[in-house]
Amino acid sequence: MAASAKVPPDPSDPSDPSVPAARTGRPRASAKGEQTRARLIAAARTLLAGGLGERFTTRNVAALSGVSHGMCHYHFQDRTDLVLAVVTDIRPEWIHPLEEAVCAPGPFAERAERVVELLSRPEGAELSHLHSALHWHALNDERVRESLEAEYRRWRGCFVTLFRVLADERDADGGRGAHVDPLALGEAVAAAVDGLAAAESLGSDVDSGPVLRTLIRTLAAGT
């Protein structure tokens, strides 16, 4: 059985509690400062998820959160910084669960089933609207595009990790791991998941669970 994969802390992520403050290059904020920052991010999420792109300004975010405009700029230089904070803030809601499903102990088949079960759950309306809003901002802001692409790269990496587990199992069972291309197979599944999500967002009645289960099993059997 392959060893359990582990996701290392991201040294560039100041929100990761496992990363010492000295490594992020930022001093630890006071508890009150963190609370203010959290209120601003929550307000930013509300405006973005509500489809109020034309109202998404630092002034409106500050007003909604009950924080002065000056204090908003103390924490966030501009609205792009607020969008980037939202990108990081939603990571535990869509990337971390997938990483946990893939990296928890178990053989490939068990991990794959955890992934299918996770991805078969309907995405919450707020998270779905936030993803749409973030994609729109990414089209118009290079910093947002780079940040969002990094998040999706990390998300896609979960599927690559899943097929690395398969390759390790094949190596341990007769050295057939060389026939498994984790990158190509993982990217193929990630693309399929993206396509199913797009179809569901348009009201398609496709049942993603059986589709994903069949795809992963077929790809695994064909290697």
Cα(162)–Cα(70) distance, integer angstroms: 46
pLDDT at 28: 55
pLDDT at 204: 76
Cα(126)–Cα(122) distance, integer angstroms: 12
Tens digits of residue pLDDT in 84-112 = 999 999 999 999 999 999 999 999 999 99
Quick one: pLDDT band at residue 42, thresholds 50, 70, 90?
A: very high
* Average pLDDT in the chain: 86
pLDDT at 4: 40
* Residue 59: pLDDT over 70: yes
> What is the rounded (10 degree) CA torsion for 157, 111, 114, 148?
-10
pLDDT at 178: 66
Tens digits of residue pLDDT in 107-125 = 999 999 999 999 998 888 8
> What is the rounded (10 degree) CA torsion for 145, 9, 118, 134?
-20
Can you tell me the mean pLDDT for 42-58?
86
> Can you say whether residue 26 is alpha, beta or left, with left for phi > 0 and alpha for psi between -120 and 50 degrees?
beta
What percent of the chain is predicted at pLDDT more than 70?
84
Tens digits of residue pLDDT in 173-222 = 877 666 899 999 999 999 999 999 888 877 778 888 999 999 999 999 98
pLDDT at 201: 75
Cα(151)–Cα(101) distance, integer angstroms: 17
Structure tokens at 85: 């904070």
What percent of the chain is predicted at pLDDT more than 90?
67
pLDDT at 2: 40
Range scoring the smallest mean pLDDT among 2-6, 71-75, 129-133: 2-6
C-alpha separations of 44 from 7, 74, 79, 111, 152 in Å:
29, 15, 9, 35, 21
Q: For the chain, give the longest Cα–Cα distance.
A: 65
Tens digits of residue pLDDT in 136-170 = 999 999 999 999 999 999 999 999 999 999 999 99
Of 52 and 223, the structure prediction assigns the larger pLDDT to: 223
pLDDT at 169: 92
pTM: 0.81
> What is the rounded (10 degree) CA torsion for 30, 33, 39, 44?
-120
pLDDT at 18: 42
Helices marked H in the chain — which ranges?
Answer: 21-24, 31-49, 58-65, 69-75, 79-89, 91-94, 96-103, 108-119, 125-140, 142-172, 182-201, 208-221
73 within 8 A of 59, measured Cβ to Cβ: no
